[in-house]
Structure 1
Amino acid sequence: MVSTRTPGHSRPRGRFTGRGATPSTPAPAVPSAVPQAAPAAVPSTRRGRLRGGPTRRAFPHQRGGSGPPDLPDRLNRPGLAAHRGVQLLGCLTAAGWAAGFPLVSDLPNQRLWGTLAAPAYLLAGLLCLVLPRRLAARAGAAAALLGAVLVPLVVLVLQGRHQSEVMVVERSAHLLFTTGSPYLAHPVVVTDYNPYLPAMSLFGVPHTLLGEGSALARLAGDARIWFAVAFVACLLASWRLLRPTRDRGPLLPLTVLTASPLVALALVGGGVDLPLIGLCCLAMALAERDRTIAAGLVLALAGTLKWTVWPALPVAVLLLWRLYGRRPAARAGLTALGAASAVMVPYALTRADELREQVVRFPLGLTAVQTPAGSPLPGKVLAGFGPGGHIASLVLLTVGGLGVTVWLLARPPVSAIAAADLLAGGLAIAFMLAPAGRFGYLALPVVLMIWPRLAARRWSARPPVPSACLLAQAEPALPAVR
C-alpha cells in the first residue's frame, strides 16, 4: 500500500491585499510515478453549477463572488435582535421618539407623523411580545411600516403637504421641460433656490407628467414615492451583492429599517436624501465585488444628485485599488468622472452662475437668503455668532475634511463595510460642522454603517476569512491512493 500526502493548498487567483491575508506556500513535490487523485469539484453558489476547482469567483472578496461554500455555524445562530425583550425595547424607544414630535416640533407634518407613528410602534411592541416567535417580528415590522410610513405618507400626499425640498425637486423637473434648466434664473425667496444638482430633477418628472389630477395621480407622481423606490431598490441590490449566503431574504431587515424613525420621518416628510444613502451603499458593494463599470456609473449618478456625496468616489476607488489593483480602480474612477462630466459640463458652461449661487453658496450660507436648514448643530451654532463664527465654521469643516482624507490614505478600506464606515464618518463630520444643516442629515451616515453589516452578516469591517483559509475550507483533502 502506497499513500501520498495531500498537496498543499495554493492561494486563489485574484489580488487580495486586505489585512489578514496569508502568503501562499508552494505545494510539496509529489513523485510523478505515484498516481494522483483529481481535485474534487467545488460547488459554486451561482445557479448550482459545479466547477472543477476553486476559482476567484468562489470567494466573497473577489470579483463576482457570492460567498464561500460553507460558512461557520456562528453565522446561523439567532442574533440579539431575535429576543423579545430587545424587540420590545426597540419599539418602545421608537414610540417615545415619535411621541415627542407632537409636543416639541413646530412643523405640522412632523406633528402629524408623530401622532400616527407613536401608536403604531406601541402596537408593534405588543405584537412582538404576545405572538408566537416565528410571527412576532414580521407582524411587528408590518405594523410599524403601516402606521409610521404608509398611512402618514398617503395622508400627507392627498393633502398636498410636504417639506419644501419636495416642491423644489418637482418644480425643477417642470423647469427642465419648459426652459431646459432646473434652476430659476433670479431666485428671490428661499423656495426659489434649488441646492441640488441637475439629475435630482428626474425624481420630479412623474409629477410633471401626471399632474395634480386624481388621488392616484397625486400618489404616483409625488417625488417622495420615487425617493423611496430608489432607496429600496439600491438596498436590495447591495444586499444581494454582500450577502454571503442566500439563506434569508432582506424583507424583514429592510422593513424594520424603513419603518424605524431614522428613515420613516425622512421618507414621509421629504426623503430627498434617501436615494443618496441607497446609491452609496450600492456603490461600495459593487466596488467590493470588482464591478468597476457599474460602480463608476452608480457613483456618477449619486454625484449628479447632490455634491455632498462626492467623497464616495475616492473611497470606492481606494477600496478597488486595495482589493484588485490600480487598473480596476482607475477604470471605476474614470467611468464615474466621465459620466458625471457628461451631465454637469453643459450646465457648468451655460449656467455657471446659477450653479455656483444655488448649489454651492446657498447650502453654505453665503447668500443673502439663508437656507432653512437650521438645526442647532455645532457648525450652525458657530455661524450664528456673525461673520467670524461663520468663517470659523468653514475652517473647521475644511480641517475635518483634511482629517478624513488623511484617515482614508493611511488606512484604505478593505471591505464594503470599512468603506461605508469611512464615508459615514466623513459625512457626519461635514454635517456637524457645516454652517447649516439638519438633524435628519445624520440618517445618511447611520444607515451607511448599519445596512452593509446586516447584508454581510458580520460587524467587523475586516474580511471574515483570509483567502488561504477559505480555500482550505472549500477544497477537501485528497484520499490516499492504494
Structure 2
Amino acid sequence: MVSTRTSDVPERAGSTRFDVWEPGRGSWWWFLRYRPGRAGRLLGRRSVPALGCAVAAGWAEAFPLVSDIPNQVFWGTTAAPAYALAGLFCLTLPRRIAYRAAAAVALLGAVLVPLVVLALRGLHQSEVMVVERSAHLLLHTGTPYLPDPVVVTDYNPYLPAMTLFGLPRAALGSSNPVALVAGDARIWFALTFLSCLLVCWRLLRPSGEGSALLSLAALTASPLIGLTLAVGGVDLPLIGVCCLAMALAARGRAVPAGLVLALACTLKWTAWPALPVAVLLLWRLYGRRPAARATLTAVAVSTAVILPFVLTQAQALREQVVRFPLGLTAVHTPAGSPLPGKILAGFGPIGHTISLTLLCLGGLAVALWLLAYPPTSAVAACDLLAAGLTVAFMLAPAGRFGYLALPTVLVLWPRLAAGALPFHRRPPRSPRPPVTTLTGIQL
C-alpha cells in the first residue's frame, strides 16, 4: 500500500534542494520572510546602508554624552566618526567598492582600534577579569571559583569551560604589550565567535556560493557586536557556538553537533535550551538515531566537564552560577537594564517571585511550541532558540540589553548564511518544462 502522506521535511544532507527560500516554514518569524520586488529594491539603494551608518554613529555618539563608564565612552569616541565615514563611503564611492570600504572603516574604528587600545591599557569590563582570574585559580587551586565571595567581582557566574578563554592570560602574563593583547580574553572571545560564524556560513550556504567576509565584517562592526567585543565580549563565544550547533544539526552532523552543544552547555547554563532544539531538528530531519547520538555525545561530554566540580564545589556552583545570576544572593549582579523582569524584581520579594514565575511560564510556553512545531531547518531552529532566550532575558530578575545580542544574531546570521534575506542573490530558477502541443511539437 502506497502512503499518500506528504511531508514538509527537507531532503537529507547532500541534497541539492534549496528550501531555505521559504524561511516561514516551521518558523513563526513571519515578518522576516523573503519579499521579492519591493524589499529587494529598497535594500539595493545606497541610502539604506548610509542611513544605517548614521543611526550607528548617533548611537555611538550618545555614549560620551550619557555614559559614565570610561570604556564605553572611549568606544563611542572612536566608533562614531568611523560610522559617519562609513556612511559617506556608501553614498560617494563607486558601488563595486563602496560597501567593502564602509565595512572596513567601521570595523577599524568600532572594533580594532578600541579593542587594541583598551587591551594595551588593561581596561575592560569586570567579566573579562573574572574569566582571566578563573583560569589563574584553576591552575593554582584546582577550582575556578573563589570559596567565599564578598563583592560582585568575586563571583564567577560561568560554568567551568569558560575558564579556557582565560588560559592565554595565565600562560602569557602581562609583562609586555604583545602579552597584554595576545593574552586578553576578549581576543579569544572574538576569534571563537568569528570562527563559528564562518563555519556556520560554510555549512548553510547553498553550493558554497558567495563570500562571508563582507557580511561578517558588517555584523562585527555593528554597534550590536562592536561595543560588546571591544569592552567585554564574554557572550560572543556562546552566540557563535549556538549558531554552529544548529548548522551542524541541519546538515546531519550528529556527533560534531553534540560536541559543539557540549561546549555551549559548559560555558553558561543559559545555553542549555540549545540542546533540545538541536536534537529535535536532527530527529525531524534524520530520524531517532542521529538525534540519540547527538544527545549522548552532548550529555556525556558536558557531564564529564561539570561533574567533578559538582562533586567538589557544589556550594560554589549553586551560589555563583545559579543563585547569583537570578538575584538570589546577598550581593546582587550589576546587570541592571530596565527590562520587565528587572523592574518587577525591584518591587521586593513579591515582585521577584512574580518575575521568576513569569520566567518559568514563558519557558514552558516556548517548550510546548517547540514540541508542537519541531524545526525543519537551521533557520527555524535558531528562531525557536532565539524566542526562548528572549523570553528568558526579558523576564529574568537580572539582565542587560547586551544579552539580546544572542537572539538577534541567531535570527540574522543563519538567514544571511542561507541567502534568505532580500539583499542576497536569489539562486537560479530551474528551467521551465517544454510545452507540447496536440501535434507532438515541443514549443
- Normalising to structure 2: TM-score of the pair? 0.88
User: Which of 3, 12, 18 is the matching residue for 2:8?
Assistant: 18
| Structure 1 residue aligned with 2:340 | 378
Aligned equivalents of 1:159, 1:79: Cα separation in 2: 45
Q: How does 1:76-475 map to 2 (within 5 A)?
A: 80-459=42-421
Query: 2:9–2:285: 8 Å Cα contact kept in structure 1?
Result: no
Number of aligned residue pairs: 412
Report the Cα offset of residue 473 of structure 1: 5.4
Relative to structure 1, is the Cα distance of residues 306 and 273 closer, same or farther in structure 2, using a 3 angstrom cutoff?
same
| Structure 1 residue aligned with 2:14 | 57
Aligned equivalents of 1:328, 1:254: Cα separation in 2: 30
Relative to structure 1, is the Cα distance of residues 17 and 166 closer, same or farther in structure 2, using a 3 angstrom cutoff?
farther
Report the Cα offset of residue 78 of structure 1: 7.0
Aligned equivalents of 2:10, 2:158: Cα separation in 1: 42
Give the counterpart letter for 2:245 in structure 1.
A
Query: 1:61–1:323: 8 Å Cα contact kept in structure 2?
Result: no
Relative to structure 1, is the Cα distance of residues 79 and 412 closer, same or farther in structure 2, using a 3 angstrom cutoff?
farther
Give the counterpart letter for 2:297 in structure 1.
T
| Structure 2 residue aligned with 1:71 | none
Give the counterpart letter for 1:407 in structure 2.
W
Relative to structure 1, is the Cα distance of residues 362 and 81 closer, same or farther in structure 2, using a 3 angstrom cutoff?
same
Aligned equivalents of 1:199, 1:208: Cα separation in 2: 15
Report the Cα offset of residue 81 of structure 1: 3.9
Report the Cα offset of residue 83 of structure 1: 2.4
Q: Deviation digits for residues 135-165 of structure 1, max 9, x if unmatched? A: 0000000000000001111111111110000
3-state SS in 2 of match to 1:115: helix
Aligned equivalents of 1:323, 1:459: Cα separation in 2: 23
Report the Cα offset of residue 111 of structure 1: 1.1
Q: Deviation digits for residues 22-69 of structure 1, max 9, x if unmatched? A: xxxxxxxxxxxxxxxxxxxxxxxxxxxxxxxxx96233589xxxxxxx
Give the counterpart letter for 2:187 in structure 1.
I
Aligned equivalents of 1:113, 1:343: Cα separation in 2: 36
3-state SS in 2 of match to 1:185: coil
Max Rg structure: 1
Pairwise CA RMSD = 2.6
Report the Cα offset of residue 20 of structure 1: 8.2
Aligned equivalents of 1:332, 1:20: Cα separation in 2: 19
3-state SS in 2 of match to 1:57: coil
Query: 1:166–1:224: 8 Å Cα contact kept in structure 2?
Result: yes
Gaps of 5+ in 1: 1-15, 22-54, 63-73
Q: Deviation digits for residues 104-137 of structure 1, max 9, x if unmatched? A: 1121111111111010000001111111000000
- Normalising to structure 1: TM-score of the pair? 0.81
Relative to structure 1, is the Cα distance of residues 246 and 108 closer, same or farther in structure 2, using a 3 angstrom cutoff?
same
